[in-house]
Structure 1
């Protein structure tokens, strides 16, 4: 063997080692950065792919079997085809299933999907507005925020206690349509708001979510709007990141003293725990500190500020109703339960089998009963 060949052979371990180190460094940088970008970038969709249509019969639809398609509960169903129109419907409980298919209750609202169409489930039951979806009178209004005008739906009622509904990350005002009938029955004026980075609302300066740390200012602008229209008190209602916005409002806004109650649905109470949970689900738990650090840097925010589990005193003076799905892959149900148990006047409603913000979908009647009972003392007909 020549001296040159021996030298080349000795170099190979160093070359391979260098490649391994380079790939490792790239992964350490790329995975946290991509994860942070995915979390903070608006996508405006809560739908989940649920297979394709195998058949449609009288009052039922059969889909190819997927985990999403087998979810318990009632959901919106949307579809589109390459050469046909899109549409939407409602699917109810699972009627029967086998290894390759799921058959569910089916109620068309805008056409019927053709066989072969790919479908998605949406926890938002309806894509319309309060009138088209529920037959409720409403007004399109604009809330003047620090970044510009933000559209909102105002559903009139009686009295001076208003419900302010705040949807979650990547959500839409339609999220509030599910409980809206129950709220309207209590005759409480209701404002379903949008906030920065929403469809129709102005973007944030960096185009990213700040996970509630700055969005609470848009909720404050909605409170200003309501006060100008005669509101005196508020019930704040937030789901998912809307819960983070609502709780941050309670710490930061001078209007917090006007809040007489809160309804939270799968609220994000500790973003650090949410990030850690998602990393563990992907078997990347050791990336957690890096992802958390990059989220704070990329979003110019503080995760410790957004940790409500260590700063609950501000909520002690009011009743709180908290719904939490026990199959939620995003929000740890132990956090929601612990938060509620730490408050002197909070009701915790765990919903078995419900995913993220899907407690209403799994048990709409039970959800409505809990909500109606909670709202009764704030209704204009309630005794003083």
Structure 2
């Protein structure tokens, strides 16, 4: 009898084990997804194959999706210890086949050897304004609620300052792409860092809060700018920087000093971003659970980060929105809906551009839109 009962138990043990494994997977996938989203990595590069040949003004790489992207990008390669060994700039695709892609190549720090793995970086430059663009600047520190945060200050004319806020896992170098255009209209520019950035203090949990708390670091940057003679602000944010900028408009006592905003592939609803990534991974059914885990793990709420239902806050502010139509992260419909809902909104869709790659795909067009938008503020210091 005992032997018979033992035989009858094993299916229940197996089923119980399968259910337990399924439950672990059900919880594990959202937890892993939340952890990836919230954990700082400080790296925007994408693997782009290995070097097949380097010629005069061109480079041939093994074919990858990243390596065939439209536009101009930074190219980096690593040494054996994983540190960056060199960098350059790749431009338009000259020719390609099923195995390789050849692009224009402008070395800035040597050239990679054949066989070396390379990566694309939407930031063309990894240095500072002087080394990248020959633009003078000052290293300054912004004192925030968690401590001192490094920033770059490029001097200009007048008391309307641009405050540039990079995105998730980004660096201040993201602001180097539009900096030449901003400098042409002579607006002082403060390119900030915030909690969990390299060189900045970590948050208590070491995780991003997707803008819900980082806006306070932008607020501290505004305080610093005011102490240096600023009176008004143009807020400029890309990716999660857009979420930080929009949250600032809800929370900061300085919001009434904002005369304009520039947003590049801004995250305007993190719920939509999470849903989209789940669908890409064929895990759409788990999206609601991922949302809940993100809120629990990050100790945050996604509800106040949905700007599509709060557009009245921006009704009196001119807003320029750049959005790549090939962006795999931010739904371009969100950016268009947001811009169209604003009385003073301008929407600039850029075909073939991935996430925060509108400048890379069309730098001349991007600069023209940006210069036209910023021109009215170049002399606003005299307007009071």
1:153 aligns with 2:152: yes
- Report what 1:287 is aligned to: 286
- Report what 2:275 is aligned to: 276
Q: Give yes or no for contact 1:73–1:93 (8 Å, CA) kept in 2.
A: yes
SS of equivalent to 1:212: coil
Q: How well do the aligned residues superpose, as a CA RMSD in angstroms?
A: 1.5
> Structure 2 CA distance, aligned partners of 1:332 and 1:19?
39
Q: Give yes or no for contact 1:162–1:188 (8 Å, CA) kept in 2.
A: yes
- Report what 1:246 is aligned to: 245
Which deviates more, 298-307 or 372-381? Answer: 372-381
Q: Give yes or no for contact 2:159–2:380 (8 Å, CA) kept in 1.
A: no
- Report what 1:55 is aligned to: 53
> Structure 2 CA distance, aligned partners of 1:243 and 1:208?
18
- Report what 2:215 is aligned to: 216
Q: Give yes or no for contact 2:160–2:381 (8 Å, CA) kept in 1.
A: no
Paired residues in the alignment total: 382
Q: CA deviation at 1:81?
A: 3.5
- 1:67 is aligned, of 65, 68, 71, to 65
Q: Do the aligned partners of residues 110 and 307 (structure 1) sit closer, same or farther apart at CA in structure 2, a change above 3 Å counting?
A: same
Q: CA deviation at 1:4?
A: 6.5
Matches within 5 A, 1:312-331: 312-331=311-330
Q: Give yes or no for contact 2:42–2:198 (8 Å, CA) kept in 1.
A: yes
Q: Give yes or no for contact 1:187–1:380 (8 Å, CA) kept in 2.
A: no
> Structure 2 CA distance, aligned partners of 1:170 and 1:187?
29
SS of equivalent to 1:105: strand
SS of equivalent to 2:30: helix
> Structure 1 CA distance, aligned partners of 2:265 and 2:240?
9
Which consecutive unaligned segments of at least 5 residues does structure 1 have?
none
> Structure 2 CA distance, aligned partners of 1:122 and 1:128?
13
SS of equivalent to 1:322: strand
TM-score (norm 2): 0.97
> Structure 2 CA distance, aligned partners of 1:382 and 1:190?
14
Matches within 5 A, 1:70-81: 70-81=68-79
- Report what 1:33 is aligned to: 31
Matches within 5 A, 1:294-373: 294-373=293-372
- 1:20 is aligned, of 2, 18, 34, to 18
SS of equivalent to 2:164: strand
> Structure 2 CA distance, aligned partners of 1:301 and 1:78?
35
1:94 aligns with 2:93: yes
> Structure 2 CA distance, aligned partners of 1:236 and 1:131?
22
Alignment deviations for residues 268-312 of structure 1 (CA, whole Å, 9 cap, x no partner):
000011011101100011111111111111111110011000001
Q: Give yes or no for contact 1:321–1:347 (8 Å, CA) kept in 2.
A: yes
Q: Give yes or no for contact 2:262–2:320 (8 Å, CA) kept in 1.
A: yes
> Structure 2 CA distance, aligned partners of 1:383 and 1:217?
29
Q: Give yes or no for contact 1:322–1:348 (8 Å, CA) kept in 2.
A: yes
> Structure 1 CA distance, aligned partners of 2:307 and 2:316?
16
Q: Give yes or no for contact 1:126–1:177 (8 Å, CA) kept in 2.
A: yes
1:129 aligns with 2:136: no
Q: CA deviation at 1:143?
A: 0.4
> Structure 1 CA distance, aligned partners of 2:219 and 2:84?
40
Alignment deviations for residues 166-203 of structure 1 (CA, whole Å, 9 cap, x no partner):
00000000000000000000000000000000000000
Q: CA deviation at 1:381?
A: 8.2
Q: Give yes or no for contact 1:81–1:118 (8 Å, CA) kept in 2.
A: no
> Structure 2 CA distance, aligned partners of 1:13 and 1:278?
37
Q: Give yes or no for contact 2:76–2:84 (8 Å, CA) kept in 1.
A: no
> Structure 2 CA distance, aligned partners of 1:229 and 1:33?
44
TM-score (norm 1): 0.97
Q: CA deviation at 1:14?
A: 1.9
- Report what 1:167 is aligned to: 166
Q: CA deviation at 1:318?
A: 1.1
> Structure 2 CA distance, aligned partners of 1:119 and 1:359?
22
Which consecutive unaligned segments of at least 5 residues does structure 2 have?
none
Q: Do the aligned partners of residues 66 and 314 (structure 1) sit closer, same or farther apart at CA in structure 2, a change above 3 Å counting?
A: same
Q: Give yes or no for contact 2:160–2:380 (8 Å, CA) kept in 1.
A: no
